[in-house]
Every structure is written in structure tokens, then in C-alpha cells.
Amino acid sequence: MSADRISDYLAQFAQARSQMMDQLRRVLIGQEDVMEQILAAVFTRGHCLLVGVPGLAKTLMVSSIAQILDVSFKRVQFTPDLMPTDITGTMVLDENDQGKREFRFVRGPIFTNVLLADEINRTPPKTQAALLQAMQEKEVTVGQDTHKLPDPFFVIATQNPIEQEGTYPLPEAQLDRFMFNVRVDYPTLEEEKRIISSSAKDEVPELTKVMSGKAIVNLQKLVRSVPVSDFVTEYVVKLVRATRPKDATAPDFIKRMVDYGAGVRAGQYLVRAGQAFAAMDGRFTVAIDDIKKAAPPVLRHRIAANFQAQAEGKTSDDLIAELLKVVGEPEPAKYVTGKKKI
């Protein structure tokens, strides 16, 4: 594919992204960063975990995104009595027209393009684990048969950070499957005034479909083709390794306040998120700023702050912000008379 053609595709992508954000602003007030992070995950085949107190329009946000993308959407309310087969589907004994009995697979709600796993931490680990294969392999195994999931497929899960009673914290293996841990914060004063004012009107804006499922798959391929320089890759590796307390390059505050840091998958997701942010801006190159923008949602659930951090009132977000200040950008290679200077 020629450079001019790629530039045209990226310009169209940036325009489509602008249209999507305009449509979402018709039903959502504020939360611009949250919407952008969800869209970035969609275009990199990633999954999102939305963390926020009830009443911040998390469900409305996800359903609206599915609506403008013209893809199928299903919501599962996770409860303590939810079984794995309630998500994946089950085999039922059926009788055909000839009177012969045979087992037939009845698909569960996971067979969709966008799956909203509402309050995912309210269901036991056995049911949470039912999502693992689907999120990683994009397929579901029931009995001896394996069933492919629709393409595109992504999971957007929500959880309440306040309530702890009757909840089952997600294991690290499943947390690591989520590309982004997205914090949904309270609206600002002006945004809250607009929300209250708009809720007094009996108007439900109709959203226009901006993109089809097939277009999403093509854009996912385009995003993966955005080149990442050695300069950016080196910065990603430095940043991820600096989160590990036993690494020689880790700052002193990481060694004191972190039990364990991010794994290799964090670096992969940082690069993919950088590609998405660049492509959504219409750029065919990943900048350091793209990586810094992706660092909080990618790293916050991959850094385990210890009791020392809690005693000093430090959260994982505080540690990431400090890391972005102390981890320096690598020096670009110098060239002298056509030769690379080491």
C-alpha cells in the first residue's frame, strides 16, 4: 500500500473518529477521555474495564458506542448465582421433525460484537473465568466443540470500586486480559449542571450509525500497520521495566511502594494504544506523547501498590504520574556524514 493511500485512509479515519465523538456528545456530557480510550481499545482488538461509582452513565456510554458502530450489543448483569453456561451457552436435548432426539447448542449472550459485563466482580471466579478464553482466543469451548465468536468482538466490563461486601476481586490473570483500566470520574460542576438540565427534558436523541463491523475490522488492520520507531520502543521498554521493583532501573519510590510491576503484555498494549491514538489523530507515526497518554489506563491495574504506598496516601495513578516524570526519553541516534554514530 502506497504512502499516499495510507495517508488518505488515516485522514478518513480521523474524520470518522470526529463524527463518532460528535454523535456520543449528543447523549453523553463530559467523559471525553473515557470515550476516546474505549474507541482506542475497539480499534486495537482490546478489552476495557470501566471502574466508577454507580450513576456515571457507564452502561449508556457502552450501548451508545455499540449503536454508532452498527454492531450487535448484549449486556449481562453479573450476579453471585450466574453460571458459566449463562454466558457461553449450553447444550439442550431437542427433538427434530423425524422424532429423533439430539443435542443442540444454544448460544449464550457472549456471541455478540460488544459484550457489556456489568459489575463483573459480583460473580464467582468460576464464572469470571468463562470470559478468559473468549477474551484471549475469540472462541468458546462447550463440551467437545469449539465455537468462533463474531468479528469484531470485545468485552467492556464495569465494576464498582466502593462496594466490597459480596464481591469477588478479579484475579491478576483476568485483569491482565483487559487492555485498559478506565477510571470513570464524577463530572465537573458545569457538566453536572448540564446533565441535570438535560434530564429534565423528555428528549432522547437518535444516534446515527457511523461505521460498520466490517469497517472496524479493516481499521484494526490499518492501526496495526502504523509504524513504531526504535526510539518509541526503547521508551516503552524503559517505562515498563521501571515499574518492576526488582529491576535495576526502577526508581527508589517504586522499590519502596510496589510489590510487583507490569509484565511484557503491558509494553505490547502501550504500543498498540499508541498506534490507535496516532491513527485516530490522522498520523502515521507513534509519538512519545501517545505512549504517555496510554500509560495510566494500561498500567494502573498492572502495578500492585503495597502498604507503604497506602500509608503515604499514594495510589497506582500517583506512582504512574511520578514514573512519567522520572523516566527520561531515550536520546535519538545521531548521524554523521551518512553514518550512524553510536
CATH number of the domain enclosing 282: 1.10.8.80
Are residues 19 and 150 part of one domain?
yes
Question: Cell 460484537 appears where?
Answer: 113
Question: Do the domain assignments include residue 333?
Answer: no
> What mean pLDDT value characterizes the chain?
87
Are residues 301 and 153 part of one domain?
no
With pLDDT > 70 as the criterion, what percentage of the chain qualifies?
A: 94
Are residues 81 and 58 part of one domain?
yes
Are residues 147 and 93 part of one domain?
yes
User: Which of the listed residues 183, 200, 225 is the one where a domain comes to its end?
Assistant: 225
Predicted confidence (pLDDT) per residue in 116-125, tens digit: 999 998 888 8
Position 334 scores a pLDDT of: 63
Q: Is the pLDDT of residue 131 over 60?
A: yes
Nearest in space to 291 (alpha carbons), one of 232, 229, 248, 224:
232
Q: How far apart (Å, rounded) are the C-alpha atoms in residues 31 and 58?
A: 10
Residue 51 bridge partners (DSSP): 159, 183
Taking the model in full, what pTM does it have?
A: 0.88
Look at the chain and report how many structural domains it folds into. 2
- State mean pLDDT over 303-315: 91
User: Which of the listed residues 206, 225, 244 is the one where a domain comes to its end?
Assistant: 225
Q: Is the pLDDT of residue 312 over 70?
A: yes
Are residues 139 and 272 part of one domain?
no
Nearest in space to 30 (alpha carbons), one of 18, 39, 21:
21
Are residues 139 and 9 part of one domain?
yes
Position 335 scores a pLDDT of: 55
Secondary structure class of 115 (helix, strand, coil): strand
Range of the domain at 233: 226-327
Are residues 118 and 100 part of one domain?
yes
The stretches of 28-129 forming alpha helices (DSSP H) are: 32-42, 58-68, 85-88, 125-128
Handedness of CA 17, 22, 27, 31 (dihedral sign): positive
Position 286 scores a pLDDT of: 94
Are residues 241 and 221 part of one domain?
no
User: Which of the listed residues 172, 206, 225 is the one where a domain comes to its end?
Assistant: 225
Position 111 scores a pLDDT of: 93
Contact 93, 101 (CB under 8 A): yes
Are residues 194 and 232 part of one domain?
no
Predicted confidence (pLDDT) per residue in 65-94, tens digit: 988 988 899 999 998 899 988 999 888 888
Q: State how far the alpha carbon of 37 is from the alpha carbons of 103, 184, 230, 274, in Å.
A: 42, 11, 24, 11
Q: How far apart (Å, rounded) are the C-alpha atoms in residues 93 and 38?
A: 40
Position 256 scores a pLDDT of: 93
Question: Do the domain assignments include residue 252?
Answer: yes
Q: How far apart (Å, rounded) are the C-alpha atoms in residues 319 and 135?
A: 28
Are residues 299 and 231 part of one domain?
yes
Predicted confidence (pLDDT) per residue in 89-109, tens digit: 888 888 777 778 888 888 889
Position 264 scores a pLDDT of: 93
Are residues 251 and 167 part of one domain?
no
Are residues 191 and 257 part of one domain?
no
Element (H, E) at 196: helix 189-199
Question: Do the domain assignments include residue 151?
Answer: yes
Predicted confidence (pLDDT) per residue in 239-271, tens digit: 999 999 999 999 999 999 999 999 999 999 999
